[in-house]
């Protein structure tokens, strides 16, 4: 009687003297070599023959991919995705913050981008802010604050330059940094 093994190979005779513990080990060891198309090149390490990982492979954290041509580290980025809630934190050493979810925090960053679905509640000291969603709290934008038509900003707002699209909603204590100094 022929049986189907785990990897689709058929054993010609089930009455051989192999032990049950050794039977699965033989097909498992030979399956990746017998079917190289079963996994993409670079999926777990490098491709056959030592080639570099395929496009879309997980990044190598020890590689030079995290450095630009000058050898300096690239910007540190944090993305808070949709349906994610990040509460009660202090975000530091973050160059770029993308918000698609909800963040309640204290932030000091170079750039913040809040999507239409995104929301930030708390205190932020930013170089550049682009708001399409909601911001509620203390916002200090050292350079340029842009509030898009879908954006809503409330609270204590300080800015270097201000760009407001038609339809945007801004309310609270609003003051230019130049006027406050």
pLDDT band per the 50, 70, 90 thresholds, residue 63: very low
Q: Note the pLDDT tens digit of each residue in 17-41.
A: 444 444 444 444 444 444 444 444 4
Containing 175, the helix (H) or strand (E) segment is: strand 169-176
CA 121/CA 177 separation, integer angstroms:
21
Burial of 6 (0-12, 13-18, 19+ CB in 10 A): exposed
CA 60/CA 54 separation, integer angstroms:
12
Higher pLDDT, residue 102 or 47:
102
Contact 83, 102 (CB under 8 A): no
Report residue 17 as tokens: 């003297």
Contact 109, 93 (CB under 8 A): no
User: In sequence order, what are the beta bridge partners of 179?
Assistant: none
Q: Note the pLDDT tens digit of each residue in 112-161.
A: 999 999 999 999 999 999 999 999 999 999 999 999 999 999 999 999 99
CA 107/CA 145 separation, integer angstroms:
15
Q: Looking at residue 54, what is its pLDDT? A: 44
Higher pLDDT, residue 38 or 102:
102
CA 48/CA 8 separation, integer angstroms:
23
Which residue in this structure is represented by tokens 């802010």? 129
Contact 145, 157 (CB under 8 A): yes
Residues ≥6 apart with Cβ < 8 Å to 148: 130, 131, 132, 165, 168
């Amino acid at each position: 009687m022929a049986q189907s093994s785990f990897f689709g190979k058929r054993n010609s005779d089930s009455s051989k003297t192999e032990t049950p513990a050794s039977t699965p080990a033989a097909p498992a060891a030979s399956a990746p070599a017998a079917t190289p198309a079963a996994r993409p090149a670079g999926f777990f390490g490098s491709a056959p023959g030592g080639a570099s990982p395929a496009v879309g492979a997980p990044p190598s954290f020890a590689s030079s991919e995290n450095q630009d041509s000058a050898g300096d580290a690239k910007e540190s980025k944090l993305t808070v995705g949709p349906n994610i809630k990040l509460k009660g934190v202090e975000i530091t050493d973050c160059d770029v913050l993308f918000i698609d979810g909800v963040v309640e925090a204290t932030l000091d960053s170079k750039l913040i981008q809040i999507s239409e679905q995104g929301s930030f509640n708390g205190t932020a000291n930013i170089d550049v802010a682009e708001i399409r969603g909601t911001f509620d709290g203390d916002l200090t934008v050292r350079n340029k604050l842009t509030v898009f038509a879908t954006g809503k900003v409330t609270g204590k707002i300080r800015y270097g330059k201000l760009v407001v699209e038609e339809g945007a909603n801004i309310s609270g204590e609003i003051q230019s940094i130049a006027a406050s100094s």
